[in-house]
Amino acid sequence: MKKVSFLTLAAFVGLSASAMADPDQFTPVWERWIGGTGANEVVPVFQTGDLTRGGGYNLASTEAGGESVILVTRQGAPNVHVLSADGGTDLRTLDLTNVTAAGAVGQTDAPFFRLNVGKVAPDGKIYVSALQTAASEVFVYEWADDAGSTVPTRISDPAYTSTSRWGDAIDVIVSGNNRVIYVAANNAAATTVAITSTDGGDTWSTASAGPVRAAIGVTGDVQGGNIFMTSGNTGAVIEYDQAGAVVQEYDAASVPGLKEAQTGTLKHFEYSGAEHIFSHSYRYSSGSGSANSFTESQVITLDRTAGTGEINLIKPVPAAVAGSDANDNGNGSGAVTIWVDGDDLYAFVMSTNNYYGLYSYTPPTSVSDWDLMN
């Protein structure tokens, strides 16, 4: 697959947002799940616990072919694993110099976890946040690439401290030389942290941005723009400005079909002339408290002027981990990477302790290609 930024617009002439409503358009390129065998087998570090919570698909890997899968985990020990592009081979772990150094946040230094969630930028840089459950400095690290010898750099400002939990959710937004990493947390008093660079990542600044509130998922549109977060277990996606004021709320009333869910990650992206939010949920509750029921990850096509949207491009959950077969966990999350290649849209999705896979959407070339009965 061609290496193309997931923020690149790939307008498809004649494809409207409403035409994208067929729920079966995201199809597996490959997928792996707990208990899978052969081509569906996960790597050993991906287990049924809740310790592998972040990562992504690397479109600028140092591997032959230029692609790899990144998993951030505390399984056994905190590490960042580099997998083959089909997710089936654990190639190596990244260097943890500066992460494990004396004085750094350590896994056994409760209430800290040295590495928790991470994202991969379109240029192959990897960003990983620690998890902290009390007031502390913020720790976010950058690896320039996924080579095993690359030494990470702490990019968060040691002078900045967060007054509450942080590190359950992370996103990176890149536009030219501008990039921002948002770090949020699932705590009512959590601070949303923005780590910003305007020179391609040579220098960084750390500050609070957006709301003080619980968030399991976080994403943004552009640097200095609005911030989208989940609303606990309601499934709503709330849009805030940089000062933390609510701009819009996308819930079941404004987005018909939006499900009540524990959402593990969000990703804002532009495709076919419209704005979308990929909302991946690691477990779904019907409202009765039932567990082990997975929602299909949803793509919300936004109408930000009206504060409404519609559900499009529902990603299939592998049948082997759907419904009661899933490994339920209240502490899980997940990861998603979205990118455009020509007219095609790709999504790498990871659901903690259940599955990870690569999915594609190819737009129809004519009206006759649509299955209007589906």
Specify the higher pLDDT residue, 81 or 290: 81
Q: Buried b / exposed e across 228-260, counting CB within 10 Å, b at 16+?
A: bbbbbbbbbbbbbebeeeeebbbbeebbeebbb
Which two structure tokens, joined as six digits, stand for 32?
């792996």
Q: Judge whether 138 lies within some domain.
A: yes
Which of 198 and 6 is assigned the larger pLDDT?
A: 198
pLDDT class for 82, splitting at 50, 70, 90? very high
Q: Is residue 366 part of a domain?
A: no
In the predicted model, is pLDDT for residue 150 greater than 80?
A: yes
With 80 as the cut, is the pLDDT of residue 105 above it? Answer: no
Would residue 263 count as lying in a domain?
yes
Which 3 state secondary structure label does DSSP give 358? strand
At residue 130, what are phi and psi to the nearest 5 degrees?
Answer: -75, 175
Q: Answer yes or no: is pLDDT of 9 > 50.
A: no
Mean pLDDT of the region 182-193? 86
- pLDDT tens per residue across span 239-281: 999 999 999 999 888 998 887 666 778 999 999 889 999 988 7
Q: What is the pLDDT of residues 303-312, one digit of tens each?
A: 988 889 998 8
CB of 124 closer than 8 Å to CB of 172: no
CA nearest neighbour of 46 among 22, 18, 19, 74: 74
pLDDT at 84: 98
- Maximum C-alpha span of the chain: 63
In-domain check, residue 7: no
Determine, yes or no, domain membership for 13: no
Residue 133 covered by a domain: yes
Residues 6+ apart with CB under 8 A from 10: 4, 271, 272, 340, 341, 342, 343, 344, 345
Give the lowest-confidence range in 63-77, 169-183, 218-232, 286-300: 286-300
pLDDT of 209 reads 92
Question: Who contacts 31 (Cβ-Cβ below 8 Å, separation ≥6)?
Answer: 40, 318, 355, 356, 357, 358, 359
Q: Which residue has the higher pLDDT, 116 or 324?
A: 116
Contact 226, 247 (CB under 8 A): yes
- Residue 5: per-residue pLDDT: 33
- The 3-class SS string of 122-187 reads CCCCEEEEEEECCCEECCEEEECCCCCCCCCEECCCCCCEECCCECCEEEEEEECCEEEEEEECCC
Alpha helices (H) in the chain, listed in sequence order: none
Rounded Cα gap, residues 186 and 105, in angstroms: 19
Q: What order of strands is seen across the sheet that includes strand 52-58?
A: 52-58, 68-73, 79-83, 90-93
Instruction: Report the half-sphere exposure of 311 (CA within 13 A, side-chain side).
Output: 22
Q: How many domains does the chain have?
A: 1
Q: Chain-centre distance of CA 58, in angstroms? A: 13
| Alpha-carbon 122 to chain mean position | 13
Its pTM stands at 0.88
Question: Does residue 285 have a pLDDT over 70?
Answer: no
- Give 322-365 pLDDT, tens digit per residue: 777 777 766 778 899 999 998 899 999 998 888 999 999 987 66
Q: Examine residue 10 and state whether it is found in any structural domain, yes or no.
A: no
Q: What is the CATH classification number for the domain harbouring 331?
A: 2.120.10.10
With 80 as the cut, is the pLDDT of residue 33 above it?
A: yes
Predicted local distance difference test score (pLDDT) of residue 234: 67
How large a percentage of the chain has pLDDT more than 90?
47
Give residue 305's domain range.
18-360
Residue 159 placed within a domain:
yes
pLDDT mean across residues, the chain: 82
Q: What is the pLDDT of residue 3?
A: 41
C-alpha–C-alpha distance, residues 189 and 209, integer Å: 13
In this structure, the number of other CB atoms found within 10 A of the CB of residue 178 comes to 16
